């Protein structure tokens, strides 16, 4: 077929059961239609355009996902300082005596009691806690008593001064002594165990940051597409400039483009993950007088800077430009029925009662 220009559009089909050659002085434009040849296919024109006449895509976001909490190690001198890991990988995160980046680390307990020392200069003495007195670090019914095999008190301390309160204080003091002995033995074992956990697991962490976040992933989804398709069962040669936009050019054999430039553009998808969240610093500190034990403290939560992660672009599957393709044209049944259907489609006054519309196109042959 030879002419000045060739326009194949609106789902039309140019088909050959064998070889086919299309030649135009100007352009060959295939817009949302098909040009197929079971054999070789040759297109020769100043420019060949293969276009998608109904392509649209939009970005679609997933539901928001709550991410596992992470712990960023801020401990100076720690070999993993500045790195964040899943919270489940840590032990003793609430302890005032340090956490460990190892799930199997043993907890270090604070002493059962502190011995009150004389107040430092500027501190006011407390008659309720004279120097040399015991001051408990655990409540009378704290689970640590049961955990370490010490029988806990059965009632709270009597509020009224007298013999019952004095007897309760004496009994509780004895239980604190027993508990303290077991805590000392436990901590000795725990420190030896934690020291054996390796170069990383044995490093104590006083300072860390809790990271809590949510993420949403979005990607492009094809909404509509009506690609132009140019396919050959065997070799294909395109002579002239070539533009292939969100459409498909495939050859079962060799695909050759010559005497022009090739512009193959296909919309790509790129997943984007946006993460929002909060950070909260944590540290250990020594309790104020009259206590001497340590506790863990927490700073206020701060909103973290939103983070954007981009995946590598990937194909949306609407475009193709390849030779030796497994996608070859199907054999078409060019019968009298098909010819009649084509003639009806080209008749501007033909009424189709099935879809209740007038089927008509304007066409012009510019050739010799």
pLDDT: is 336 or 294 the higher one?
294
pLDDT of 361 above 50: no
pLDDT: is 213 or 348 the higher one?
213
pLDDT of 86 above 60: yes
Q: Could you tell me which of 255, 332, 234, 251 has the C-alpha nearest to residue 15?
A: 332
Query: What digits encode the pLDDT tens for the residues 276-291?
Result: 999 999 999 988 888 8
Residue 363 has a pLDDT of: 39
Q: What angle do CA 235, 239, 240 make, to 5 degrees?
A: 145
Distance CA 3, CA 192 (A): 91
Residue 164 has a pLDDT of: 94
Residue 357 has a pLDDT of: 40
pLDDT of 88 above 90: yes
Q: Is the peptide bond before 353 cis (omega within 30 degrees of 0)?
A: no
pLDDT of 205 above 90: yes
Residue 359 has a pLDDT of: 40
Average pLDDT over residues 242-256: 92
pLDDT of 366 above 60: no
Q: What angle do CA 226, 232, 236 make, to 5 degrees?
A: 110
Q: Could you tell me which of 174, 236, 208 has the C-alpha nearest to residue 75?
A: 208
Distance CA 23, CA 39 (A): 17
Average pLDDT over residues 170-176: 95
Every domain of the chain and the residues it spans: 2-55+225-268+317-332, 106-196
Average pLDDT over residues 74-103: 94
% the chain with pLDDT above 90:
62
Structure confidence at residue 322 as a pLDDT band (50, 70, 90): confident
Give me the chain's average pLDDT, please.
86
Residue 360 has a pLDDT of: 37
pLDDT of 237 above 90: yes
What H or E segment, with its residue span, contains residue 193? helix 163-195
Instruction: Give 37's contacts (C-beta < 8 A, 6+ positions apart).
Output: 15, 16, 18, 19, 20, 231, 232, 233, 234, 329
pLDDT of 331 above 80: no
pLDDT of 335 above 80: no
Least reliable range by pLDDT among 21-30, 67-76, 281-290, 308-317:
308-317
Considering 162-166, 195-199, 348-352, the range whose residues carry the highest mean pLDDT is 162-166
Q: Could you tell me which of 97, 105, 87, 92 has the C-alpha nearest to residue 195?
A: 105
Average pLDDT over residues 75-100: 94
Least reliable range by pLDDT among 79-93, 230-244, 352-366:
352-366
């Amino acid at each position: 077929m030879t002419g000045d220009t060739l326009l194949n559009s609106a789902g039309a089909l140019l088909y050959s059961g064998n070889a086919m050659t299309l030649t135009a002085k100007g352009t060959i434009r295939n817009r949302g239609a098909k040009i197929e040849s079971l054999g070789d296919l040759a297109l020769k024109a100043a420019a060949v355009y293969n276009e998608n006449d109904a392509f649209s895509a939009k970005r679609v976001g997933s539901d928001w996902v709550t991410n596992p909490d992470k712990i960023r190690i801020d401990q100076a001198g720690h070999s993993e300082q500045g790195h964040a890991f899943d919270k489940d990988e840590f032990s003793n995160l609430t302890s005032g005596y340090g956490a460990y980046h190892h799930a199997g680390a043993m907890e270090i307990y604070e002493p059962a009691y502190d011995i009150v020392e004389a107040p430092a200069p500027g501190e006011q003495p407390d008659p309720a806690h004279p120097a040399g007195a015991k001051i408990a670090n655990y409540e009378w019914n704290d689970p640590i008593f049961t955990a370490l095999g010490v029988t806990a008190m059965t009632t709270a301390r009597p509020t009224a001064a007298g013999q019952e309160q004095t007897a309760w204080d004496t009994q509780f003091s004895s239980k604190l002594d027993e508990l303290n002995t077991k805590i000392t033995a436990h901590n000795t074992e725990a420190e030896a165990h934690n020291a054996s956990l390796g170069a990383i697991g044995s490093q104590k962490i006083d300072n860390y940051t809790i990271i809590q976040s949510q993420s949403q992933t979005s990607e492009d989804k094809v909404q509509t597409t009506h690609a132009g398709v140019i396919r050959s069962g065997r070799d294909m040669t395109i002579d002239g400039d070539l533009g292939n936009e969100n459409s498909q050019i495939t050859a079962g054999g060799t695909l050759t483009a010559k005497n022009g430039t090739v512009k193959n553009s296909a919309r790509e998808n790129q997943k984007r993950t946006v993460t929002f969240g909060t950070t909260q610093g944590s540290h250990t500190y020594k309790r104020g007088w009259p206590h001497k034990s340590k506790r863990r403290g927490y700073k206020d939560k701060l909103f973290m800077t939103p983070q954007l992660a981009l995946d590598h672009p990937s194909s949306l599957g609407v475009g193709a430009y390849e030779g030796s393709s497994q996608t070859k044209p199907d054999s078409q049944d060019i019968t009298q029925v098909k010819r009649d259907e084509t003639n009806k489609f080209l008749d501007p006054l033909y009424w189709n009662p099935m879809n209740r519309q007038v089927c008509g196109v304007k066409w012009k042959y510019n050739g010799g």
